[in-house]
């Protein structure tokens, strides 16, 4: 469990501190800040209600990277400046979802991967995970057979595939349908 402190202002904006990092939340998502500085502490002390609670976020949720994409030499749109690795940290969940959807579209368009079985076998190879279990979970979540071809460029199908992968990677989906559809649309 991580201790989280949140300052919630009447405007709906919140500043949340998790493990010494601050996150600025507005209606448009979150911005990852740096380690808490005296300036940030002064901003937080300026108003709002202080809330301290125990929250158990997954690594993918903390990194705004619900697909748990690994850090590479090629930067992603919306990638945060601080990258502790080995997984990418995004500035907001919508950018992490965009990257997840972008990867899936690349699998489909460049490699012809169009079934849950073929996509997940590349996404999560047996050398890293229980791929058969992952395929079964995603197929079941989507209500399709693992070997049925999917039109991955269809936004509804892509949103369902993204949601199923987030569910498997994090054990839950904490993102609204609006955030998921926005991330997919940005891909």
Are residues 128 and 44 located together in one domain of the fold?
no
Which residues are paired to 79 by β-bridges?
A: 90
Burial of 24 by CB count in 10 Å (0-12 exposed, 13-18 middle, 19+ buried)?
middle
Handedness of CA 181, 182, 185, 187 (dihedral sign): negative
How long a stretch of residues is the chain?
187
pLDDT, position 62: 86
Q: What does the pLDDT look like over 108-155, one tens digit per residue?
A: 999 999 999 999 999 999 998 999 999 999 999 999 999 999 999 999
Q: Is the pLDDT reported for residue 53 higher than 60?
A: no
Q: Cα-flanking dihedrals φ and ψ of residue 74, to 5°?
A: -95, 115
Is residue 47 located within the same domain as residue 99?
Answer: no
Q: What are phi and psi of 174, to 5 degrees?
A: -100, 0
Chain centroid, CA 184 distance in Å: 12
Answer yes or no: do 104 and 181 share one domain: yes
Same domain for 97 and 48: no
Does residue 182 form part of some domain? yes
Number of domains into which the chain is organized: 2
Reported as a pLDDT band with limits 50, 70 and 90, residue 46 is very low
Q: How confident is the model at residue 16 (pLDDT cuts 50, 70, 90)?
A: low
Domain that holds residue 51: 2-56
Lowest mean pLDDT among 27-31, 106-110, 164-168: 27-31
In a domain, 122, yes or no: yes
Is it the case that residue 182 has pLDDT exceeding 60?
yes
Mean pLDDT of the chain: 80
Task: End-to-end CA distance of the chain: give it in Å, rounded.
Answer: 33
Please enumerate in sequence order all residues whose Cβ is within 8 A of that of 185, keeping only pairs 6 or more positions apart, or say none: 155
More confident residue, 83 or 135: 135
């Amino acid at each position: 469990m991580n201790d989280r402190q949140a300052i919630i202002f009447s405007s709906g904006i919140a500043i949340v501190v998790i493990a010494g990092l601050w996150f600025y939340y507005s209606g448009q998502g979150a911005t990852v800040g740096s380690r808490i500085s005296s300036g940030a502490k002064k901003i937080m002390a300026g108003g709002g209600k202080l809330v301290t609670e125990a929250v158990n976020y997954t690594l993918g949720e903390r990194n705004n990277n619900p697909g748990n994409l690994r850090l590479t030499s090629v930067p992603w749109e919306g990638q945060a400046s601080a990258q502790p690795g080995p997984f990418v940290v995004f500035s907001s969940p919508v950018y992490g979802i965009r990257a997840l959807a972008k990867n899936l579209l690349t699998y489909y368009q460049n490699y012809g991967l169009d079934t849950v079985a073929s996509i997940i076998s590349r996404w999560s190879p047996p050398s890293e995970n229980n791929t058969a279990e992952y395929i079964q979970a995603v197929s079941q979540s989507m209500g399709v057979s693992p070997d049925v071809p999917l039109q991955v460029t269809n936004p509804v199908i892509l949103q369902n595939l993204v949601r199923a992968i987030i569910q498997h990677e994090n054990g839950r989906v904490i993102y609204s349908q609006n955030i998921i559809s926005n991330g997919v649309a940005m891909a």
